[in-house]
Amino acid sequence: MKYGGMNKTKVVIYTLFSGVTTGIGAFFGALLGTISVGVISICLSFAAGAMLYIVSGELIPESKNLYKGRFASLGNILGFVIGMLAMNL
3-state secondary structure of 17: helix
Is pTM, for the whole model, over 0.85?
no
List phi, psi (to 5°) of 58: -120, -55
* Share in percent of the chain as helix, strand, coil (round to 5): 80, 0, 20
**How many residues are there in the chain?**
89
* CA 73/CA 80 separation, integer angstroms: 11
72: left (phi over 0), alpha (psi -120 to 50) or beta: alpha
pLDDT number for residue 68: 76
The pLDDT tens digits along the chain (89 residues) read 777 778 889 889 988 988 898 888 888 878 877 778 887 888 888 888 888 888 878 877 887 787 777 787 788 788 889 988 998 87
